[in-house]
Each structure stands twice: as structure tokens, then as C-alpha cells.
Amino acid sequence: MYTPADVQNAKLKKGEVIVKESPDGVTIIKWTYQRDVRMLTTCHIGTEMVQVQTKRRQADSIKPKCVIHNDSGKFFVDVSDQLASYNTALRRCTKCYRKLMIEIIWGTALVNAYCLYCENTFPSNKITISEFREKIIMSIIMENRNEAAAKRRQSTVQHHLIKHEAKKRARCSVCYQKYGKHGTIINGKKKYPAQVITICDKCDDNPHFCKSCFNEKH
């Protein structure tokens, strides 16, 4: 709001800097590297540039002194907030609890997961936070696709209610979930899970079913 228009609207190339100082001694700096960086300072001259050795690139980088001073004072909270700001999922909405849940899940939790990933992987396999977010999204999409495909395959399988070979009697698996081991009072009457010898021939582990529950489930 109070940023000078010539500084705010300046189109800078990579490595260029524009500086403006107020009569009160407050200096505003706009420096462009991978993106625009704006800073306010009262203890630096914006034109002070320092050559810094980078880890990823062989060539040294030239940065304003105030940027280096700011980076040297970063703590874990600052780094976490910086990582959470990349590709944020926060959008304008009227309900604050939605923004809170999105920030907790997509911001704090995902940044913590990314830090654990970086600590437990080889340096050559490390990826950026944006790539990590993309991999998480793709894994969720693929998992949902696999579940949908499995449900479609199950829907085409014909299930049959047959008698257990050894005529083993057991509680109906669906009734047991409804009424429990000792039964449940419903409308003044106590209902118990049915004891049957019939099982499903296609379900995993061949659970016991009574006829009504089998028809309801399949």
C-alpha cells in the first residue's frame, strides 16, 4: 500500500536491484533473483552487494548485504513458513476453519513430512518441496484409481452363499458388527448375531453370512 510506485512496478532482470530511501532513513529494496524480493531496512544501504559462494552452482552469486543478513538470522520456523508458502493451497473463503484445516494438512504436516524425507534419503535423491507436493498428489490419485478399479472388479464377480465344508457354525459377520457379541436392544427387543454355517465363496477369508445379510451386502 505504501510502497513507492517506481519500486513496486520496476521490471528488473535477474541480479538487478532498485533502492529508495525515505527522509526518515527507511530504505526499501527490490532485488530480483529467481523471484522478486522486497525488503525494508534501517541499517543497510541497499546498494551494498556481496559475492556469495553457492552450493548448487559453480558460479558465485551476488546478493545485497541486507538479504544475506536476513538469511543468517533464519530459524527453523522461518524456513518452515517459507516452504509452506510455495504452491500454497489457501484460497479466499468465508469459513476460517477451512483455511485452518488446509494450512495444517497442506502446510504444516506436509512440510514436516518433507523434512523427514530429506533427512532419510540420499542427497542425490533429494527433490524440491514443489516436486514433493506433486508426488503426494499423484500417489493419492493413483491409490483412488486402484481402489475404484478394485471395486469395479468386485462388482462383476458373482458371489454365492454356500455351506461350509466342515459345517462349521459361526456368527454372521454383518450381524456381529450390528449387534455385537452379547446382542443389542432394538425397539425393546434384544437381537443377537445369527449363528449360521453358510459362507460366501468369493469374499476374502470366506466370512459367514446369514441369508438376509448376504443379500444386503451383495
Asked if residue 111 lies in contact with residue 155, where contact means CB atoms within 8 angstroms, the answer is no
Spans of the chain below 70 pLDDT: 1-2, 46, 53-60, 75, 94, 153-156
pTM: 0.44
pLDDT value of residue 54: 66
Nearest to 200 by CA among 188, 210, 190, 191: 210
For the chain, the domains span: 5-73, 96-155, 161-217
**3-state secondary structure labels for all residues of the chain:** CCCCHHHHCCCCCCCCEEEEECCCCCEEEEEECCCEEEEEECCCCCCCEEEECCCCCCCCEEEEHHHHHHHHCCCHHHHHHHHHHCCCCCCCCCCHHHHHHHHHHHHHHHHHHHHHHHHCCCHHHCCCHHHHHHHHHHHHHHHHHHHHHHHHHHHHCCCCEEECCCCCCEECHHHHHHHCCCCEEECCEEECCCEECEEECCCCCCCECCHHHHHHHC
Per-residue pLDDT tens for 81-105?
778 777 777 777 767 787 788 788 8
pLDDT value of residue 8: 82
pLDDT value of residue 4: 81
pLDDT value of residue 88: 77
